[in-house]
Structure 1
Amino acid sequence: MTTVKQQPVLQGRAPQTFSSLLDTFFQDTVNNRRVQGFTPAVDLWETEKSYEVELALPGLKKENINVEFEEGVLRISGERPFNKENQGQKFLRVENLYGKFRRAFQLPDHVDATAIEAQFENGILRISVPKVEEKVVKHQISVK
């Protein structure tokens, strides 16, 4: 059996000294970077009839998600609010990311913008962008 070395999630952000470790611990609070925003994971693939997009948005409600298509660009944005009531609580660790997000994808010209469908279920946003026949820009006509 071969073992594979796992790369740390925070690679490149590891503190170099014990002092910087303590600084990171005390500065990594809810008020610092955890509520500034996040970038959701995306899977994007092409089928014969469409382009498919899936975003992982756990903990969001569909009311907090906006999907729009303009000038060939599919834009997905929203917000995961931090709703933990602070009733004398002192958070020791917050690993979930909160705040606003925005993703944009340039799509080819041959898509049917009026038939784009988006469905949100179990924290996964699925968007299907149907293709249309490619526009003929140049076509050689044979002379008979």
Structure 2
Amino acid sequence: MSLLAKTNRLPVGLDDFFNTDWFGGTTNHVNRIGFNTPAINIKETDDSFHIYLAAPGVAKDDFKIELDNENLSVFTEKQNQEETSSDKYTRKEFGYASFKRTFKLPESIDGTSINAAYNNGILEVTLPKKEEAKVQPKRMIEIS
């Protein structure tokens, strides 16, 4: 029987490993009235990194993306208030929802060329690599 099956817990250290974001990100998995911290995928290609953030139901205009030195933050906050009144009662409801994901970017990122697109509930942030960080094609070296 494995350690996980006996204790229903991961061994010390592995628990932290699986609860840490890659890319230096910070997470807060607390449900904040309406939004959970969105799931992300990060993909590296020869020329760039792509961050895919799943946030269905969030409007494109509700997102804010901020670059502060080597920290990239994606966040949103939404407030709504509804009031119904009649001669016998007044009902007020309000809500507030937000999330924020922050990523510490590697030095290989060209911060001046970052762009983002939102489609079908997925926010894609493209982080191009600096020219010197891109994978160079194979070449033959002549021997003199």
Whether these two folds match at TM > 0.5 is: yes
Taking the aligned partners of 1:59 and 1:36, their CA distance within structure 2 comes to 10
Does the CA-based 8 Å contact 1:75-1:104 persist in structure 2? Answer: yes
- Change over 3 Å in CA distance of 1:128–1:80 after alignment to 2: same
- Change over 3 Å in CA distance of 1:120–1:42 after alignment to 2: same
TM-score, with length taken from structure 2: 0.56
Question: What SS does structure 2 have at the residue aligned with 1:114?
Answer: helix
Does the CA-based 8 Å contact 1:57-1:123 persist in structure 2? Answer: yes
Matches within 5 A, 1:128-143: 128-132=126-130, 133-134=132-133
Matches within 5 A, 1:1-144: 35=33, 37-81=35-79, 99-132=97-130, 133-134=132-133
Question: What SS does structure 1 have at the residue aligned with 2:38?
Answer: coil
Specify every segment of 5 or more residues in structure 2 that has no aligned partner in the other structure, as ranges: 1-30, 85-95, 134-144
Specify every segment of 5 or more residues in structure 1 that has no aligned partner in the other structure, as ranges: 1-32, 88-97, 135-144
Decide which structure has greater helix share. Answer: 2
Does the CA-based 8 Å contact 1:111-1:129 persist in structure 2? Answer: yes
Q: How many residues are aligned here?
A: 92
Q: Could you tell me how far 1:38 is from its partner in structure 2?
A: 2.5
Taking the aligned partners of 1:58 and 1:86, their CA distance within structure 2 comes to 26
TM-score, with length taken from structure 1: 0.56
Counterpart in the other structure of 1:12:
none
- Change over 3 Å in CA distance of 1:123–1:80 after alignment to 2: farther
Q: Could you tell me how far 1:79 is from its partner in structure 2?
A: 2.3
Taking the aligned partners of 1:71 and 1:105, their CA distance within structure 2 comes to 11
Code of the residue aligned with 2:101 in structure 1: it is R
The CA RMSD measured in Å over matched residues stands at 2.4
- Change over 3 Å in CA distance of 1:86–1:117 after alignment to 2: same
List per-residue Cα deviations over 1:18-66 (Å, max 9, x = no partner). xxxxxxxxxxxxxxx6517530111112111001000011111111100
Question: What SS does structure 2 have at the residue aligned with 1:58?
Answer: coil
Question: What SS does structure 2 have at the residue aligned with 1:100?
Answer: strand
Taking the aligned partners of 2:34 and 2:119, their CA distance within structure 1 comes to 25
Percent identity reads 36
Code of the residue aligned with 1:63 in structure 2: it is D
Decide which structure has greater strand share. Answer: 2
